Structure 1
Amino acid sequence: MNVSDIFDRHARNYDGERERLIPGFHDFYGVAVDVLTFEGDNPKVLDLGAGTGLLTEFLLKKYPNAEVELIDLADNMLDVARERFKDNPNISYRNENYLTAEFDGEYDIIMSSLSIHHLTQEEKGFLYEKYVNLLNDGGIFINADLVCDEDDSVERLFYKKVDDLILQNVSLEEFEQANERRKFDDTDSIQYQLDCLKESGCNMVGVPFKFYTHAVLWGQK
């Protein structure tokens, strides 16, 4: 079983689980959108590993006329997004691997949430270079994701803190299912990923949000 199979199986329950499984859920997604700066109301946006379109929904509250392209390997997840945005003609969908997909044109915003941490370190480096190159000058890359700490002891402490918070909101069965999905995680440090953004052509990078194992990484070309 691969990552797309796992998320296809949980597509219908995914959104309901997010708020219970992500401590600081509203800040995590809210800051990811708040830090976006685009002059106008119709940016061209690419959502990598878009899943059910949760991050896009947050973005559309700020930019309701945005033109958004959602790409994801798990088609059942995209089906939820298609249903969510069925009345919005500015939303398009691609059931593809974003590491190998080809694109025409450039974007004002490229964003991702809880997807890139499934990639190897080498794949992350490739992804940042590929997609920063697709940004317009002044364009923004946002990754709201799981990260690891360079100190293993700190990382274990932070995961324990997060697990304690999660267990206040979910059943043991739901917690164990979430832990099964963790087997597909391959997290990297904030510093490594900020370095990737810089080396790929971002003039400014930063971390507008971090809560234990969750962080929003920001880069502007």
Structure 2
Amino acid sequence: MSVVNKFNQKAKEYDSERRALIPCFDDFYGVAIDCIDFKKDNPKVLDLGAGTGILSQFLLEKYPNAEIVLIDLAGEMLKEAEKRFEGNDNISFICDNYLTHEFDTKFDIVISSLSIHHLTGEKKKFLIEKYADLLNDGGNFVNADQVLNPNKGVEDYFKLKLDEHTDEISEKAYEEAKIRRTYDKPSSVDFQVECLKNAGFNYIGIPYKYYVFAVFWAKK
């Protein structure tokens, strides 16, 4: 079964399990939005692999007048996002592959959370270059995601520490999360920073890191 099908199956329960699976939930999503450097109150935003729209919801707290496009391959996840943002005419949805979808406009901010780690290193590099080109001058790229520690012992220890928090969800939900992890292809922080540099970003930083979770921020 593909990772898209796995997320479609989990769409209705996805949000309710996030805090247990991401013990740093508020800081992780909160810092990803707080670090954005854009002064106007109505940015044009693209959310890659938006899922149920969690990160976009955080963004609306900072930019309530933002115009946001959410794109995701998992249609059932996007249906949950549509419910979340019902009545907001500034938000639109695209069910498609963000690696191949062609946009005819540029954006002020491109965001993503817990999606890009499903791509191989080469596809991550391609994606960063693709969306760097779609950012306006001064535009921000933010990716809140899972990363790989090059030292396997450290990586295993970090995952063990995170698993200490899973008593807050059912054993069934935890086992399903473990299955979804088998689709992960996380890359190191250093590799992804290098990709951002090669894509031409002038400013790059890691404003947040918690075990396997990291926030990448870059500005043209």
TM-score after normalising by structure 2: 0.98
Distance 1:105 1:177 in 2: 38
* Other-structure match for 1:203: 202
Does residue 193 of the first structure (1) align with residue 192 of the second (2)? yes
For the residue of structure 1 that corresponds to 2:38, the secondary structure is coil
Question: How far is 1:6 from its partner?
Answer: 0.5
Question: Quick check: 1:46–1:109 contact (8 Å CA) kept in 2?
Answer: yes
Question: How far is 1:51 from its partner?
Answer: 0.6
Cα distance per residue 1:59-113 (max 9 Å; x no partner): 0011000000000000000001111111100001100000000011211100100
Question: How far is 1:171 from its partner?
Answer: 2.4
For the residue of structure 1 that corresponds to 2:126, the secondary structure is helix
* Other-structure match for 1:104: 104
For the residue of structure 2 that corresponds to 1:15, the secondary structure is helix
Question: How far is 1:176 from its partner?
Answer: 1.0
What is the identity, as a one-letter code, of the residue corresponding to 2:86? Answer: K
Distance 1:67 1:213 in 2: 31
Does residue 217 of the first structure (1) align with residue 208 of the second (2)? no
Question: How far is 1:194 from its partner?
Answer: 0.8
Distance 1:137 1:198 in 2: 16
* Other-structure match for 1:171: 170
Instruction: Show the 5 A alignment for 1:56-71.
Output: 56-71=56-71
Question: Quick check: 1:71–1:96 contact (8 Å CA) kept in 2?
Answer: yes
* Other-structure match for 1:91: 91
Question: Quick check: 1:49–1:115 contact (8 Å CA) kept in 2?
Answer: yes
Question: Quick check: 1:158–1:212 contact (8 Å CA) kept in 2?
Answer: yes
Distance 2:200 2:18 in 1: 32
Instruction: Tell me which moved more, 168-177 or 27-36.
Output: 168-177
Distance 2:159 2:216 in 1: 19
Distance 1:86 1:111 in 2: 21
Distance 1:105 1:145 in 2: 25
TM-score after normalising by structure 1: 0.98
Distance 1:63 1:191 in 2: 30
4+ residue runs over 3 A deviation:
none
Distance 2:75 2:169 in 1: 26
For the residue of structure 1 that corresponds to 2:136, the secondary structure is strand
Instruction: Show the 5 A alignment for 1:16-165.
Output: 16-165=16-165
Question: Quick check: 1:133–1:201 contact (8 Å CA) kept in 2?
Answer: no
Question: Quick check: 1:67–1:91 contact (8 Å CA) kept in 2?
Answer: yes
Distance 1:4 1:177 in 2: 14
Distance 1:21 1:141 in 2: 25
Question: How far is 1:121 from its partner?
Answer: 0.7
